[in-house]
Amino acid sequence: MENKGLLIVYTGASGVGKGTIMKMLLEKNPNLRLSVSATTRKPREGEQDGREYYFVSHERFDEMIAENGFLEHAEYVGNKYGTPKEPVFRMLDEGLDVILEIEVKGFLQVKKACPDCVTIFIAPPSFEELQLRLRGRGTESEEVIAERLKTAEEELKSQSLFDYVVINDDLDRAVDEVLSIIADKKNQA
């Protein structure tokens, strides 16, 4: 279809700095839109409904699954997360590039449903560095941190399934690398 935007899957372990990179990507690329996911997780301090996530009950989440409202959905450390389908396709039809910040199980579903998407994995410089960052953030209990680290270790093993792996050892460089990947992909289309 003419003028269709690019779908980008953006994945990385908890604490890797995905959110910071994402903020800069959105500032630097005016054609890029972040898909707002639905989640059953409770809001963290400072998070707003409809901005970081649509915070929904487990019942509402299951209804959205039954309505076939998700492009993908998955469970992550005890909570459910999903990408509402309609806004993504609407933005792509408008020619906007849409980025999904999702975990590995969701990535696998999107890759199957939309093989033309570009997939990017954000990796930490090392697992030790990831531990430090996740603890330093102070947003989760030790129990949740331990579970997130276990999941992160698993997710790091999936890196090779992605089109690109970007190591977040230097923020500006990592942002530039993601911007170039998107620009190159657009030029090829």
Interaction between residue 97 and ligand 5GP (CB under 6 A): no
Interaction between residue 103 and ligand 5GP (CB under 6 A): yes
Interaction between residue 121 and ligand 5GP (CB under 6 A): no
Interaction between residue 119 and ligand 5GP (CB under 6 A): no
Residue type (1 letter), 89: F
Strands 97-101 and 7-12: parallel
Interaction between residue 102 and ligand 5GP (CB under 6 A): yes
Structure tokens at 81: 């997360």
Helix or strand (DSSP H, E) at 189: none
CA–CA separation, 23 and 21 (whole Å): 6
Which of 99, 101, 149, 178 binds ligand 5GP (CB under 6 A)? It is 101
Choice between 76 and 97, CB closer to ligand 5GP: 76
Structure tokens at 145: 């941190």
- Smallest separation (angstroms) from ligand 5GP to the CB of 98: 12
Q: Are 26 and 10 in contact (CB under 8 A)?
A: no
Structure tokens at 107: 């990535």
Interaction between residue 81 and ligand 5GP (CB under 6 A): yes
Which residues here bind ligand 5GP, judged by CB under 6 A?
14, 37, 41, 72, 74, 76, 81-83, 101-103, 105-106
